[in-house]
Each structure stands twice: as C-alpha cells, then as structure tokens.
Amino acid sequence: MFNLIKGDKVLWGILALLAIFSFLPVFSASSNLVYVVGRGSPWGYLVKHFVILVIGFILMYSVHKIPYFYFKGISILMLPVVLILLLYTASQGTVIDGANASRWIKIPIIGLSFQTSTLAAVVLMIFTANHLAKPNLRQIKFSQSLLQLWLPVLGVVLLIFPSNLSTAALLFTMVIILAFIAHYPMRYLLTICGMGLAFVLLFFLLVKAFPGSFPNRIDTWVNRIENFSSGKSTDGNYQVARAKTAIVSGKIFGLGAGKSRMKNFLPQSSSDFIYAIIVEEFGLIGGIGLIVLYMLLLFRVVVIAHNTHNLFGKLTVIGLGIPIIFQAFINIGVALQVLPVTGQNLPMISSGGTSAWMTCIAMGVILSISVKRDTDEVNEDGQEQINNPIHILSETH
C-alpha cells in the first residue's frame, strides 16, 4: 500500500489520523438527530460518514496521481462551469428563517445535496495561482489583469457573498494573500480592495433600501455579531451557550467517548459545533490534541510549499492548504466563543458530503505537487524552471 501512494507521507498520515478520529465524535453526536429530531439511526449516520470518507480518499488518491501542471488547464476549463453552478444555486431562492440560504443544489440521480461554493473555492485558488505565476506579472497592465484575473475572482466571490459571507470573505482574503506573496503590484491590490469594500457597502445600502426584493441576510449577520459581543445566552446565542457548557463539562480528561450530554441540545452537534462535543467527551487533552494535528497539517503545507521549485506549485499549495487551516480554527473559535457564529465546519472531522470531498480533492492536489517528479525541475516545454525570488518561500541554492 505504501508503494502505491506517493507524495508527502507525513501529510497522508495526518489526514488518515483526522479521518479515523472523526468516527467517534460523529457517531456520538449523530444520536442527537436520532433521538431528538427523530431521523435515522446512529449506525446509519456512521456508515454514511464512512462512505463519504472512503469516497473522499479515493478522490484524493486519484487526484494525487495527476501531474500538477495539468491543473492549470483544468482550472481554466472549470471556472465557467463553476460560475454557471453558482448562478443556478443563487437562483434557487432558498430561504431559512427569512434569510437567503441558497448554498446547495440537489443532485436528482443520487439524492444528495451539493454545496457549490466548496467546488468554487478549489477551482478559484488554482486559477488564481496559475495567473499569478506568469513571468510578466509585474509588467502587466491593470486593465489586462482586471479582465483576466479580478473579474472572474469577483464574479465567484460576489455570487457566494449573499448567502455565505464567511466563505466569500475567506476566498477573497486568500486571493489577496496569494497576490501579495506573488509580488503583485501593491497599487493594484489596494484598488481591488477598495472595489470590494465599495461593493459590500453598496450591497448593504440596496438591501436596506429594498428589503422585500432580496431575502435579508444582513439581519442574521448583525444578530450574530451582537450576540457574540454581548456574550448573553439569548435565543440567537443558544448554540454557543450550549457549546460553552459542553466544553466546561469536559474538564481535563472528558466524560468519555459517547458520553456527551450537550449533544442532545446542540442542533449542529455533528457539524458546526462538533469541536464542543469532542472537548466534552475527550477533555482538554483531546481538544488540544486535535489543534496539534491541525498545526502539524499547517507545518507540512508550509514545508511542501517551500520545497516546491515551481511558483505555480508554491502558490497552489498555499491557496489550497491555508484556507483549510483557517476553516478549522474558525470552527474552533466559534465553539470557544472567540469568533461569531459563521457556519464553517471542521475539516475532515464534521459530518458532511461535498465539503469533505472538496477538502480531499484539495489535499490531493497538494500531494500531487509534493511528488518528486521531473516536472518540479522542468516545465512543460522541457526548459529548466527558474525560481521566483520570493524571499519567504524560495529555496537557497
């Protein structure tokens, strides 16, 4: 088996540990859906989670076998598909509690829901890395860059923004970080940031002026921030209060696997607030141990980016790896009431379908880049690659 898998073996091990550990909290937390909500059985949810992770690792294995420079063309071809899917998703008009929640589309053949923003995030990061790796980046005119890079980026972000602020903000922030690392002209970056801020203000003004024309999600965002800042156990802060109770109950060593009590009071105990259940059952040691695993994952991402001889590879590793770490710590921060409620799940741990699959695909791309092939030293034309002078990532020769 070890001869079949290539790439960074430590990264493979970390991902396997996260996946194996996830079965205990998912099995335990899913009892909330069974005995409180009255849907399915705990074993059914466990089998579903197992199937999702198996498919995810098959996708990861398949993707990591593809030479990474092929993803340049794949991202260009997939971007129009992603935009069409996001437009279709936004047109669904799904409303939950009076707020826009058009994030998923139904796949009629297999009966699953697909969150299009997760696919958009992977495609957009690779597409951005491909554009920023061009050798004449610093000489490119802003008008050219606006059409070739920023128009697609803003199109994807703006289609996600109305229904999922946290994902849109994370995507836009990562694109800006990649552009900064690639030495994109600072005056252009400031212009793009100004355009993004202007759009957000315009969106708020339009929604306030015409509240009936668009399902209002601004009130949801404002309520979450107010609940977070007040720290009171209001109705809007119900889950955070129960999560804090679960974390306090765990103490040092926890109540034991499957012995969580707060899982029966947390509606999102197997997804958004699964970290609180982990701490309740495995204590401070389990909570810190999980954080250490994510820190090791971050370390391996940085090592792979540093050892990659190709600028496109470096930027792709950063663009795909860092958001997963951000997402993990955002989820943990919400459970600890360090951050407002955002709806981000815990990568490789929370129950879910498309999010886990897209995480596996992103990791498959990173593993493909970590594979030592001749393509690390030579480009598609057979010419020797010259390292880009990025002082924080380039290797010393």
User: What pLDDT was estimated at residue 156?
Assistant: 92
CA–CA dist 324, 300 (Å, integer): 13
- Give domain limits for the chain: 9-376
**Residue 153 phi, psi (nearest 5):** -60, -50
User: What pLDDT was estimated at residue 15?
Assistant: 95
Give the containing element (helix H, strand E) for 112.
strand 112-115
CB-based contacts of 383, cutoff 8 Å, min separation 6 = none
Which of 235, 221, 264, 245 is closest to 337 using CA atoms? 245
| Identity of the residue numbered 246 | A
User: What pLDDT was estimated at residue 147?
Assistant: 87
**Residue 214 CA: distances (Å) to CA of 97, 99, 196, 209, 244:** 13, 9, 20, 10, 34
Is there a contact between 281 and 257 (Cβ–Cβ < 8 Å)? yes
User: What pLDDT was estimated at residue 124?
Assistant: 95
User: What pLDDT was estimated at residue 84?
Assistant: 92
**Residue 94 phi, psi (nearest 5):** -70, 130
CA–CA dist 108, 393 (Å, integer): 45
In terms of residues, how long is the chain?
Answer: 397
CA–CA dist 365, 321 (Å, integer): 10
∠ CA 337-342-343, rounded to 5°: 115
CA–CA dist 296, 51 (Å, integer): 26
SS3 assignment, position 272: coil
| Identity of the residue numbered 311 | L
CA–CA dist 123, 175 (Å, integer): 12
Digits of tens for pLDDT over the chain (397 positions)?
A: 667 788 889 999 999 999 999 998 888 887 766 665 556 666 778 888 899 999 999 999 999 999 999 999 999 999 999 999 998 888 775 544 444 446 677 766 555 677 888 999 999 999 999 999 988 776 778 888 888 899 999 999 988 888 788 888 899 999 999 999 988 888 889 999 998 888 888 887 877 776 665 555 655 666 666 666 665 544 446 777 888 888 898 889 888 888 888 887 777 777 788 898 999 999 999 999 999 999 999 999 999 999 998 899 999 999 999 999 999 999 999 888 888 877 788 999 988 778 889 999 999 999 999 986 434 444 444 443 434 434 434 443 3
CA–CA dist 58, 360 (Å, integer): 9
